[in-house]
Amino acid sequence: DIVMTQSPDSLAVSLGERATINCKSSQSVLYSSNNKNYLAWYQQKPGQPPKLVIYWASTRDSGVPDRFSGSGSGTDFTLTISSLQAEDVAVYYCQHYYSTPFTFGGGTKVEIK
Amino acid sequence: QVQLQESGPGLVKPSQTLSLTCTVSGGSVSSGTDYWSWIRQSAGRGLEWIARISPSGSTNYNPSLKSRVTISVDRSKNQFSLNLRSLTAADTAVYYCARGDYSYYWGQGILVTVSS
């Protein structure tokens, strides 16, 4: 299985400041035939299912504000919230879908400082 | 707008079998290319992908659960289901159904507690 490791476990950021979350996979999730990274990011708020934020490592899902961006390739990925808003408080997860079984990172809790 | 809704028991005894159903509206489990998945979430295991089924019925399972899990589809009811056998307390979790390998549609989840 591909192991997904997120860091940090939690971070507190002031409103309007940048939040950066890292995700590392134990093997590459870049598929060479199409040059796509099979990596997604989700946002989860209490009592709700995860909500897709980013797929293909850097494509924002429909309706996701452009302050969210994803970057990285191969085994190292980053989710950046450029200007943290109060509604962004949540737990964020990375997930690979390169091969089954798909696996998730342990989550990063984002709070307001 | 595609909507998914999980249904099933909230409490199951150890050693019994859990049967969950996901009812899909606004889309068809029989068409397209997206797989339909079951994912669970617990405090101890975090988010855990369980299994997926394609519109044509092709299946994939998490090897850690494969011996106990069956995923199936009922095209007449536009539903897909999960059976998990030989339950233990470690199977206590919120179970979600979802669409797509990067899941852009999720059900609200159903809490399943395994306890005598």
- Over residues B85-96, the pLDDT tens digits come to 999 999 999 999
Output the six-digit token pair for A54.
Answer: 């980013």
- How distant is the alpha carbon of residue A62 from its chain centre? 16
User: What is the least distance, in Å, from the CA of B77 to any CA of chain A?
Assistant: 24
**φ/ψ (deg, to 5) at A101:** -80, 135
B40 touches chain A (CB under 8 A): no
Quote the tokens at residue B93: 């979790």
Q: Which of B47, B44, B40 is nearest to B97 (CA)?
A: B40
A61: distance to nearest CA of chain B, Å?
8
Q: Which residues of B86-115 are buried (b: 16+ CB within 10 A; e: fewer)?
A: ebeeebbbbbbbbbbbbbbbbbebbebebe
pLDDT tens-digit readout, A89-105: 999 999 999 999 999 99
Residues of chain A with Cβ-Cβ distance to B67 below 8 Å are none
Q: How far is B89 from chain A (nearest CA, A)?
A: 21
> Can you tell me the mean pLDDT for A4-26?
98
- Where does the pLDDT of residue A10 fall: very low under 50, low under 70, confident under 90, or very high at 90 and above? very high
Q: Residue A1: which pLDDT band, with cuts at 50, 70 and 90?
A: very high
Could you say which of B49, B63, B109 has the minimum Cβ distance to residue A49? B109
* Residues 57-116, chain B, touching A (beta carbon < 8 A): 60-64, 96, 98, 101-104, 106-109
Query: What integer is the mean pLDDT of B40-67?
Result: 95
Residue A74 pLDDT more than 90?
A: yes
- With beta carbons less than 8 A apart as the criterion, state whether B21 and B7 touch: yes
A45-57 per-residue burial string, b: 16 or more CB within 10 A, e: under 16: eeeebbbbbbbeb
Distance CA B64, CA A70 (A): 30
**Interface with B, mutate which of A42, A96, A97 (most B CBs under 10 A):** A97
